[in-house]
């Protein structure tokens, strides 16, 4: 019987099998050839990612579309939301709705993995895409203590900022300018931040499952 790990479990069954079953004892998740991964006729997979939820609806990670469809086809996950654009993949005999959010059929325990890496997209989400100084839409990242003054590139020293404030601030400190931060910047907590750190443009359908996003 299939193992309990969620990914991967083999090729999507969108075309009739044309090769014998995989060899016994094959290592899970390794040595998958392109032909095994990609059913004929499907062509290029969309580059978007799919949000994978645990059975508890806790966000786990963002998967490539291909891997998400493998989980669905293998019965290891179910579609929670289809792609907001209603996209489908077509093979010779089947069409498959592209998912945006899927949920595992069995609970998986994922150990906490420490500090979330700093990325532009995750920082913008932490600060709600708003300039921390004036509140307009942020377009850039400001180092609160300028890097030229020894400031670090870290969650604690980076904030979302508009171009205007960034230019006004230049290489000065807040004390020199008489500016204040509405709150002390800090690294976001929660496992789902890890996936957001690598997602440049998360589907709005994901947001209800990323409930801690706007809490600092």
Where do we find the tokens 């300039």?
Answer: 131
Gyration radius of the chain over CA positions: 22
Tokens of 10: 């083999």
CB 187 within 8 Å of CB 116: yes
Q: Does 162 bind Zn ion (CB under 5 A)?
A: yes
If the CB atoms of residues 15 and 140 are measured against Zn ion, the closer one turns out to be: 140
126 phi and psi angles, rounded to 5 deg:
-55, -40
If the CB atoms of residues 158 and 162 are measured against Zn ion, the closer one turns out to be: 162
Tell me which residue of 200, 191, 124 sits closest to 155, measured CA to CA.
124
Contacts of residue 20, Cβ cutoff 8 Å, sequence gap at least 6: none
SS3 category, 90: strand
If the CB atoms of residues 133 and 206 are measured against Zn ion, the closer one turns out to be: 133
- What's the min distance (Å) between Cβ of 138 and Zn ion? 7
- What's the min distance (Å) between Cβ of 136 and Zn ion? 5
Residue 117-146 contact track with Zn ion, rule CB under 5 A, x = bound? --------------x-xx------------
165 phi and psi angles, rounded to 5 deg:
-65, -35
Q: Does 104 bind Zn ion (CB under 5 A)?
A: no
Binding segment for Zn ion among 77-85, 150-158, 160-168, 184-192 (CB under 5 A)?
Answer: 160-168
If the CB atoms of residues 134 and 207 are measured against Zn ion, the closer one turns out to be: 134
Of the candidate residues 70, 71, 104, 165, the single one contacting Zn ion (CB under 5 A): 165
If the CB atoms of residues 71 and 131 are measured against Zn ion, the closer one turns out to be: 131
Binding segment for Zn ion among 30-38, 107-115, 159-167, 203-211 (CB under 5 A)?
Answer: 159-167
- What's the min distance (Å) between Cβ of 132 and Zn ion? 8
What is the dihedral sign for C-alpha 181, 182, 183, 186? negative
- What's the min distance (Å) between Cβ of 122 and Zn ion? 20
Task: Round to whole Å and give the CA distance between 185 and 130.
Answer: 13
CB 58 within 8 Å of CB 103: no
Which of the residues 23 through 62 are near Zn ion (CB under 5 A)?
none
Residues that bind Zn ion (CB under 5 A): 131, 133-134, 162, 165
């Amino acid at each position: 019987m299939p193992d309990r790990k969620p990914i991967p479990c083999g090729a999507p069954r969108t075309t009739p099998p044309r090769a014998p079953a995989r060899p016994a004892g094959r290592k899970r998740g390794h040595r998958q050839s392109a032909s095994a991964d990609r059913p004929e006729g499907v062509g290029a997979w969309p580059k978007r990612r799919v949000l994978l939820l645990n059975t508890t609806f806790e966000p786990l990670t963002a998967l490539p579309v291909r891997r998400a469809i493998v989980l669905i086809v293998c019965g290891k996950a179910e579609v929670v939301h289809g792609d907001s654009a209603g996209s489908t993949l077509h093979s010779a005999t089947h069409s498959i709705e592209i998912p945006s959010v899927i949920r595992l059929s069995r609970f998986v325990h994922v150990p906490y993995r420490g500090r979330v890496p700093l990325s532009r997209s995750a920082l913008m989400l932490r600060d709600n895409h708003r300039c921390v100084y004036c509140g307009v839409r942020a377009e850039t990242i400001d180092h609160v203590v300028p890097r030229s003054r020894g400031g670090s590139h870290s969650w604690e020293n980076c904030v979302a900022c508009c171009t205007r404030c960034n230019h006004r601030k230049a290489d000065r400190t807040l004390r020199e300018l008489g500016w204040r931060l509405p709150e002390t910047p800090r690294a976001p907590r929660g496992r789902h931040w890890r996936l957001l750190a690598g997602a440049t443009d998360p589907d709005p359908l994901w947001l209800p499952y990323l409930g801690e996003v706007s809490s600092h």
